[in-house]
């Protein structure tokens, strides 16, 4: 365990590369861990196979003893929005996993009438896939590129449901960690970001610092909470509860480099099959947070899922800001000194 801030390296002069943003080859070693530290781990969430069962939400709450709350964070209240199957509404201090339900409707061109018996062509798209999507997951009706159960039609409208289990991104450059004055937030030996609830003083600086709006304060005592990527389970050699409970392996846990390679292959397979809008989110280490420890395969724009399209770590410009402040202060001191010297003459 360490309380070394990711901002400290940039200000000590031992970080000529300025690691407040940009790629970091070894984010765990950069925080002071020995060379034999474990490999960085994370989540790859493949939303194309998410069925919205919410097993991840339940497993997270059960393992971490999180109280029931509604979409506004009110504890011990059963929240029903009335407009969606989404009863948790958003990530919060008591909901560290949130399954988004997005319903889309768009006009489609109706097919021209054909000659012959209905279903003479079998009515089925040929299965061209190998028999599995991910290891252990058969290429059944859960695959988006085949029968696409998330899509149906009504009249001349095509309707589809997009489902995605959102979570803390465990950023390479975690602004929440940078601004924490007590060391409550720290980088673990697995490369994840964890809050120590017994050290948090409830200042709330980390809340606006998060570019994703993930970390949240509890209303009763003001302390902040978020996903720990089941740090206690990791230290016992177990995978996080949500990944264990996911029946379709939409949530995959493991070595981050291996997950990224698997995600690249999955994206290429979907794009080869003509799946529109497929893209990776949080995979690029040159993005505004240096890449995420929890990244996603989406089927539409990030905004559709409630994700910021181009998140940037909020501490990125701190060195430039401090340089400007220093230059301004030096100029003021110079003016005062020159005025004092001029008066004496």
pLDDT digits (tens, 9 = 90+) for 119-145: 544 444 443 444 445 555 544 434 454
340 is in an annotated binding site: no
Stretch (H or E) spanning 342: helix 318-344
Between the alpha carbon of residue 14 and those of residues 278, 318, 319, the distances in Å are 40, 16, 14
Residue with the bigger pLDDT between 231 and 67: it is 231
Residue 294 pLDDT: 97
Residue with the bigger pLDDT between 129 and 188: it is 188
50 is in an annotated binding site: yes
Between the alpha carbon of residue 36 and those of residues 28, 33, 189, 212, 238, the distances in Å are 10, 8, 10, 31, 20
Residue 17 pLDDT more than 70?
A: no
Tokens for 301, please give them. 């724009």
Among 3-7, 19-23, 125-129, 281-285, name the one with the lowest average pLDDT: 125-129
**Nearest Cα to Cα of residue 275 among 159, 144, 164:** 144
Residue 129 pLDDT: 44
**Which stretch, 64-73, 97-106, 220-229, has highest mean pLDDT?**
220-229
CA 14 to chain centre: 29
CA 25 to chain centre: 19
203 is in an annotated binding site: yes
Q: How far apart are CA 203 and CA 306, in angstroms?
A: 26
Banded pLDDT at 156 (limits 50, 70, 90): low
310 is in an annotated binding site: no
Cβ 49 vs Cβ 249: under 8 Å: yes
End-to-end CA gap in the chain: 60
56 is in an annotated binding site: yes
**Which stretch, 72-76, 237-241, 330-334, has highest mean pLDDT?**
237-241
236 is in an annotated binding site: no
Longest dimension (CA), the chain: 107
Q: How far apart are CA 221 and CA 109, in angstroms?
A: 55
Residue 69 pLDDT: 79
227 is in an annotated binding site: yes
278 is in an annotated binding site: no
171 is in an annotated binding site: yes
Overall pTM > 0.95: no
Mean of per-residue pLDDT scores for the chain: 82
pLDDT in tens, 297-317: 999 999 999 999 999 988 877
Give the CB-side neighbour count of residue 193, counting CA atoms within 13 A: 29
206 is in an annotated binding site: yes
Q: Which CATH architecture has domain 28-106+158-313?
A: 2-Layer Sandwich (3.30)
Transcribe 162-202 into DSSP letters.
Answer: EEEEE----BSS-HHHHH-SSS-EEE-TTS-EEE-TTT---
168 is in an annotated binding site: yes
187 is in an annotated binding site: no
Banded pLDDT at 42 (limits 50, 70, 90): very high
Tokens for 51, please give them. 């069925």
Q: How confident is the model over 77-84, as a mean pLDDT?
A: 69
Q: How far apart are CA 149 and CA 131, in angstroms?
A: 18
192 is in an annotated binding site: no
């Amino acid at each position: 365990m360490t309380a070394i801030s990711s901002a400290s390296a940039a200000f000590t002069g031992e970080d000529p590369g300025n690691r407040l943003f940009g790629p970091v080859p070894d984010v765990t070693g950069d925080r002071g861990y020995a060379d034999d530290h474990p490999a960085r781990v994370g989540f790859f969430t493949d939303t194309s196979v998410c069925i919205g069962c919410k097993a991840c939400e339940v497993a997270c709450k059960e393992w971490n003893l999180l109280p029931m709350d509604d979409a506004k964070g009110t504890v011990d209240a059963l929240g029903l929005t009335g407009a969606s199957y989404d009863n948790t509404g958003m990530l919060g201090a008591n909901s560290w996993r949130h399954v988004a339900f997005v319903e889309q409707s768009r006009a489609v061109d109706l097919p021209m009438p054909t000659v012959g018996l209905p279903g003479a062509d079998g009515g089925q798209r040929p299965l061209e896939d190998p028999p599995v999507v991910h290891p252990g997951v058969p290429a059944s009706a859960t695959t988006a590129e085949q029968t696409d159960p998330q899509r149906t039609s009504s009249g001349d409208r095509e309707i589809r449901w997009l489902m995605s289990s959102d979570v803390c991104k465990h950023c390479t450059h975690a602004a929440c960690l940078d601004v924490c004055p007590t060391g409550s937030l720290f980088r673990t030996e697995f490369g994840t970001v964890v809050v120590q609830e017994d050290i948090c003083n409830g200042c709330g600086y980390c809340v606006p610092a998060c570019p994703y709006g993930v970390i949240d304060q509890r209303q009763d005592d003001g302390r902040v909470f978020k996903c720990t990527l089941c740090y206690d389970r990791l230290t016992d050699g177990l995978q996080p509860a949500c990944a264990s409970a996911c029946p379709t392996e939409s949530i995959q846990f493991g070595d981050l480099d291996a997950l990224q390679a698997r995600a690249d292959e999955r994206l290429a397979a979907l794009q080869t099959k003509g799946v529109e809008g497929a893209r990776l989110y949080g995979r690029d280490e040159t993005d505004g947070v240096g890449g995420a420890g929890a990244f996603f395969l989406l089927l539409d724009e990030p905004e559709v899922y409630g994700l910021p399209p181009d998140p940037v770590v909020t501490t990125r410009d701190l060195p430039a800001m401090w340089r400007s402040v220093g230059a301004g202060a030096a100029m003021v001191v110079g003016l005062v000194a020159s005025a004092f010297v001029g008066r004496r003459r």
